[in-house]
Structure formats: C-alpha cells, structure tokens
Amino acid sequence: MVQQADGSYRVGGCHQIAALLHDPRMSADPRTRGEVTHKAPFLRLDDPDYRRLRSLALRPLEPPHSPGRVDVMRGEIDRITRELLEPFEAGRQVDIVDDFAYLLPVTVICRLLGVPCEDEPLFRA
C-alpha cells in the first residue's frame, strides 16, 4: 500500500484488497464523508442498509420466486452479447467497460424487470 500525493492510497494485491473490502472503516456511503444526500443509491450505502435494500432488489430474481428465470433467457443473453460485440469485430475503437461490461448486465436486468431499453440512462445516473 502506497500513499499518494493527494492523501489517497494505491493498493495492490488481492489480499490487501480483500482486507479493505471487509474492513468496517471503509465506506461507500457519501454520508460518512459529510456529503449531504437525500437519495443515495443503495450501491453507495454501507451495511446494514445496503444488505437490506440489495435483498429487496434481488428477491424477484432469485428462487423460489422465479426458478430458472435467467436460464430461460440464455438465448436472449447470447443474442444481446453478440449484438454488443459487433462493434468490436468492425475494428472500431471501443471502451470495454462502457461498451460491453456495463451494458450487458444492465440490459439483461432491464429485460428481467421489464424496463424499456430507452430507460437505461436512468440506471447510469
């Protein structure tokens, strides 16, 4: 672990990263840094709020509520994946995170929840 000029730390190695991810002093919640926010997305919250809201969000996607739901979508997920990979094959410059790694799960989640694709930018915000 090396401290940077701005006071942050550069961390390398899976053991250090795993330790930080499980350290209760680490926080993703903007409220712990004194930021005033009225609607922090649950991904930016700490436990127990994060775990409670995550379980509510995932409940419709998990057994016993919908066994096999994702398996039934396997063909559609393959089609979405091929569609997202097309620009890569054309030799166009792409950003692997923005153009694929982000879009694939968000598109699948939108389909699972019945959210129109045009509402995807709301997820990003």
Q: How confident is the model at residue 72 (pLDDT cuts 50, 70, 90)?
A: confident
pLDDT in tens, 33-70: 666 655 667 777 788 888 888 888 777 666 666 667 77
Residue 93: predicted pLDDT: 80
Kindly state the tokens that stand for 8.
Answer: 């942050």
Please give the residue that has the higher pLDDT: either 24 or 83.
83
Distances (CA, A) of 104 to 11, 42, 113, 117: 28, 20, 14, 12
Domain ranges of the chain: 2-61, 69-124
Please give the residue that has the higher pLDDT: either 124 or 20.
20
